[in-house]
Amino acid sequence: MFTPMTEPSTTSTADRIVEVTGLCKEFAGKRVVDDVAFTVLRGQTVALLGANGAGKTTTIAMLLGLLLPTAGSVRVLGEDMVRHRHRVLGRINFSSPYVDLPRRLTVAQNLLFFARLYGVPMPKARIAELAAELDLSPLLRQRIGQLSAGQKTRASLAKALINRPELLLLDEPTASLDPDTADWVRGYLEVYQRRAGAAILLASHNMAEVERLAAQVLMMRRGRIVDRGPPAELIRRYRPRDRRRRPGCPHPG
Amino acid sequence: MTGRVVSAAGFAPSRIAAMVLRQVYLMRASWPRIFELMYWPTIQMVLWGFMTRFLMTNSSYIAQASGVLISAVLLWDVLFRGQLGFSITFVEEIWSRNLPNLAVSPLRPSEFLLSLMTVSLIRTLIGVLPAACLAIVFYQASVFDLGLPLLAFFVVLIVMGWAIGMAVIALILRVGLGAENVAWLAIFLIAPVSAIYYPVSVLPGWLQAVAWCLPTAPVFEGMRAVLIKGVFRTDLLIHAVLLDVLYLTIGAGLFLYSYHVARRRGLLLQIGE
């Protein structure tokens, strides 16, 4: 059942965007992430798939350095995220439906603020470029608080791409979106990933989303990676018996 | 890929400027915010201005220097607005659920603190300067009569406000938004022993000892020495500056420790929820 994710031995360190080994996190003695290990290569999209409480968001938080691991190591772009996260934070970015942009600022003000925070060269040109790509141009003067859920997601995505990240971490990128908007966002991420050659790590409980976007899937349950492999392989492996034997596992179809 | 951000390491004033810009956008978008900043200092100044007029004919102490009460009110507001501006700017990031975005950006904790100080300074000046000017118009009482010592008193008080603000933020990081009211109330704990309107000698002996452990008491004693006796007491200023350094160090230590604990417990993601 368990297939280790491996990469060719010729893969250089520079191509290993994320290297996680033996990652554990405990809260009040309860282990919520348990011995997680994986690698994300440059240009690769990897998905953490699991039900709510599986440990996906906690894993992403540790990758970002928002949360300190109890044990194990996280290296992003070659840097230890516990000790030297500030060396690489300008080269990665993050979006989550559980984190908002300041509601009283307009879309343009938000993007300019984050562009300056990330030291983006020629920020206004970059904002215009993203606004055109993400169909945000008519919304630039609107406050974030006035936007619909789909528009907010596009604005958050623009913020997450403002610094042309080499690693993009997305927590539930299409949560609470209608199917059409969700589909549009997935399409855009595919285009961005191909064009920029960035690595993407996304957390999702939506197998359809994972199947479309990810080359590799890490299936998480109760804090552990219980299986991994390409989406098609996992679907083949689980579809017939998933409903009968593993009710706690997200439906991979 | 061209235009990519190459490195964000090291101290960057541009990131502090970005944080200040975000607050300027916020203030610019809402005139009631600007009005609110000016409202209380002006009301306080008006009340104490009338009180001064009354006491001028009924108190030989006030008659010696008509501006002493209004100057005390305005300097106290420097401390109050300085602390509030520092703490509330941080709390606003929690209210807007933006704190995780900042925590995963290249912004360093030291830059975050410096940006809070800058915003606090701007908010304090917006609040206190109009009141100080109106005091000259209404009561012919000018805090600027203090001359250069005013600048020293201003710096000592606002720095003390920042130190208290850091302790307040540390508390909020530890226990969450349940402690946000402390941001409004913390400063009043030290008001009775700060000798704002009366000399330290009025206090009971043991409270005098407490008062001299705060930088506020030597500042207000120093202010009275300038306005009533025309003497600038450098000993009081040095006393206040040394205590300021001590409290700022404690405040920064508490903030950094709480930030570390918040990273260990995952509070940076959950604090607004």
Any idea what the Cα angle at residue B263 is, between residues B26 and B106, rounded to 5°? 50
The more confidently predicted of residues A150 and B155 is B155
Q: What residues of B are in contact with residue A90 (Cβ under 8 Å)?
A: 5-9, 105-106
Stretch B127-143: mean pLDDT: 89
- Of B15, B25, B269, Cβ closest to residue A117: B15
Domain ranges, ordered by start, for chain A: 15-100+165-245
Cα-only R_g, chain B:
20
Q: Taking CB atoms and an 8 Å limit, are B106 and A117 in contact across chains? A: yes
pLDDT of B187 above 60 = yes
Q: Taking CB atoms and an 8 Å limit, are B6 and A91 in contact across chains? A: yes
CA distance B113 to chain A (A): 15
Q: How many helices (H) and strands (E) does chain A have?
A: 7, 10
What's the pLDDT at B65?
Answer: 67
What CA–CA distance (Å, rounded) separates B273 from B160? 30
ipTM of the modeled complex: 0.86
What's the pLDDT at B1?
Answer: 45
Q: What is the pLDDT of residues B24-43, one digit of tens each?
A: 999 888 888 888 888 888 98
Domain ranges, ordered by start, for chain B: 18-270
Surface of B (239-268) touching A: CB under 8 A? 260, 263-266, 268
Q: What is the pLDDT of residues B99-131, one digit of tens each?
A: 999 999 999 999 999 999 999 999 999 999 999
What CA–CA distance (Å, rounded) separates A33 from A54? 8
- Chain B residue whose CA is closest to A63: B104
Q: Which residues contact A182 (CB under 8 A, 6 or more apart)?
A: A174, A209
Q: How many helices (H) and strands (E) does chain B have?
A: 12, 0
* Cβ contact B163:B251 at 8 Å: yes
- Within an 8 Å CB–CB cutoff, is residue A102 touching chain B? yes
Q: Which residues contact B77 (CB under 8 A, 6 or more apart)?
A: B40, B41, B44, B124, B127, B128, B131
Q: Mean pLDDT for chain B?
A: 89
Q: Taking CB atoms and an 8 Å limit, are A104 and B101 in contact across chains? A: no
pLDDT of B234 above 80 = yes
The residues of chain A scoring below 50 in pLDDT are 1-8, 245, 247-253
Give the predicted TM-score (pTM) of the model: 0.88
Q: What is the pLDDT of residues A166-207, one digit of tens each?
A: 999 999 888 878 888 888 889 999 888 888 889 999 999 888
Position B8 confidence tier, pLDDT thresholds 50, 70, 90: low
- Chain B residue whose CA is closest to A111: B22
* Cβ contact A108:A139 at 8 Å: no
What's the pLDDT at B101?
Answer: 94
Q: What is the pLDDT of residues B59-92, one digit of tens each?
A: 776 666 678 888 999 999 999 999 999 999 999 9
What CA–CA distance (Å, rounded) separates B151 from B144? 9
* Cβ contact A163:A88 at 8 Å: no
Q: Topology of A15-100+165-245 in CATH?
A: Rossmann fold (3.40.50)
Q: What residues of B are in contact with residue A122 (Cβ under 8 Å)?
A: 3
